[in-house]
A = this chain, B = another copy of it.
């Protein structure tokens, strides 16, 4: 369930517009629908072809942007970003994206979703050549690589830079004359192209197309650079050794249910995962409930397949914000709750199937089992709509270190006992692939399964910074 509770910090979201007179406003609404991908900071760069303006800062999109900002942010091209925390940092302004670089002659803005695995070494080398870094972000590494490239054409500078970086990424680069977007050779992060009248839209998720009234065109392909300029849309490739292995966690928990990832609807995929789970791990029970919000679809699928009633057994308080005061240990022990409540009227005396999407550290599952038992659940059967997470992710899903991953260190029976459940079952890898249902012959069903299998689709280096440290 909830990333912030169990340690999966959500990723970033990128949204860009090319060729619309209200580009910055559209970007605001687009980012707003990508808000679930990053609630800690937001930024928009607007370009009128001659000058770029930026506004960014910490907080939700609706907190960072006030109406007045859009008197300054003007132009037909715009690039926006939402991101997860930059904790431990004191750089303030510089830490938020997009990164805007102005020189005497031109301007360039960059935004990024993903994580590089060789940023550390590249940064070291650039600094030794006299480059000054303002942030610790991968985005700035790309900026320096572009800036130092000797190719005259900006497209070639970008390609040149991309050949030097490795990892999972979806980059958007806005210059005075064009918008360029790029995917890593494995296409690990979602990145889609849409159309709104004459304008082009690029977004990390398709739900943002619906939010602004745009229609879906196609995906940005692995290894592809798509360029939007005054002549329209062009495509180039900076590598041809590509294959699509889209991140499984996007389907399992991260993306919005109304998004389509590589043309597969997320809610439907999750419902299928629930159905597969019901087939693989049935149980004799009275009601099925899901952990709001990300597990609801899977719970409905499970209930439907199992022929059991789906109930609102857990309620989430919507008003827990940044400034919420956490209860003291003493009050917590007395029963003061924050976000989730179990619904006694639904659960009391019942055998409950509790469907969750994944388990990272296991602490949340334990808490939820207790919540349900406290209001009188007779039995609690935990069903997880994904396989056990046994390996850390280096591509932008912040799943803690291996030591913290409960499934990397415990058997399923141990985990069941730790969380106090009457039974615990995970979806199999086959069930996962089948449930997502990508129409492909590739071995993993075209998915990155590294966190379940340890088979990473790129090199991992000794000095690959753990995402925690890179923030």
Tell me whether A66 and B323 are in contact (CB under 8 A). yes
A72 in contact with B90 given A39-B319, A319-B32 (CB within 8 Å): yes
Tell me whether B258 and A325 are in contact (CB under 8 A). no
Contact with B along A318-334 (1 / 0, CB 8 A): 11110111011011001
In the assembly, what is the distance between CA of A375 and CA of B66, in Å?
31
Tell me whether B297 and A90 are in contact (CB under 8 A). no
- Determine the residue in chain B with the shortest Cβ distance to A318: B318
Contact partners of A341 in chain B: CB under 8 A = 33, 207, 210-211, 258
Check A317 for interface membership: any CB of B closer than 8 A: yes
Check A102 for interface membership: any CB of B closer than 8 A: yes
Looking at A142-150, A218-226, A235-243, the stretch in contact with chain B turns out to be A142-150
Write the residues of chain A forming the contact surface with B, with a CB cutoff of 8 angstroms: 22, 25-26, 28-29, 32-33, 35-36, 39, 53-55, 57, 60-63, 65-67, 70, 72, 90-94, 101-105, 120, 123-124, 127, 130-134, 143-144, 147-148, 196-197, 207, 210-214, 256-258, 260, 265-268, 271, 293, 296-297, 300, 304, 309-312, 315, 317-321, 323-325, 327-328, 330-331, 334-338, 341-346, 375
> A146: shortest Cβ distance to chain B, in Å?
9
Tell me whether A65 and B25 are in contact (CB under 8 A). no
Contact of A211 among B36, B90, B210, B337 (CB under 8 A): B337
- Determine the residue in chain B with the shortest Cβ distance to A207: B341
Tell me whether B124 and A148 are in contact (CB under 8 A). no
Contact partners of A134 in chain B: CB under 8 A = 94, 134
Contact of A130 among B26, B104, B147, B309 (CB under 8 A): B147
Contact partners of A256 in chain B: CB under 8 A = 315
Tell me whether B124 and A104 are in contact (CB under 8 A). yes
Tell me whether A60 and B321 are in contact (CB under 8 A). yes
Count the copies: 4
> A271: shortest Cβ distance to chain B, in Å?
8
Tell me whether A315 and B257 are in contact (CB under 8 A). yes
Tell me whether B265 and A61 are in contact (CB under 8 A). no
- Determine the residue in chain B with the shortest Cβ distance to A64: B323
Q: List 28 A-B contacts (CB under 8 A).
A: A22-B328, A25-B328, A26-B336, A35-B319, A54-B90, A57-B92, A62-B319, A62-B321, A66-B323, A67-B325, A72-B90, A94-B134, A102-B133, A104-B123, A130-B144, A130-B148, A132-B143, A210-B337, A212-B335, A212-B337, A213-B335, A258-B343, A258-B344, A265-B344, A265-B345, A266-B345, A267-B311, A300-B310
In the assembly, what is the distance between CA of A323 and CA of B39, in Å?
15
In the assembly, what is the distance between CA of A54 and CA of B131, in Å?
20
- Determine the residue in chain B with the shortest Cβ distance to A130: B148
Tell me whether B312 and A267 are in contact (CB under 8 A). yes
Tell me whether A196 and B267 are in contact (CB under 8 A). no
* Other A-B pairs beyond A32-B320, A35-B318, A265-B344, 10, CB < 8 Å: A28-B325, A63-B321, A91-B93, A103-B127, A131-B132, A196-B335, A210-B375, A300-B311, A304-B310, A310-B310
> A31: shortest Cβ distance to chain B, in Å?
10
Tell me whether B90 and A346 are in contact (CB under 8 A). no
Tell me whether A312 and B296 are in contact (CB under 8 A). yes
- Determine the residue in chain B with the shortest Cβ distance to A124: B104
> A162: shortest Cβ distance to chain B, in Å?
17
Contact partners of A337 in chain B: CB under 8 A = 29, 210-213
> A254: shortest Cβ distance to chain B, in Å?
15
> A336: shortest Cβ distance to chain B, in Å?
5
Tell me whether A258 and B345 are in contact (CB under 8 A). yes
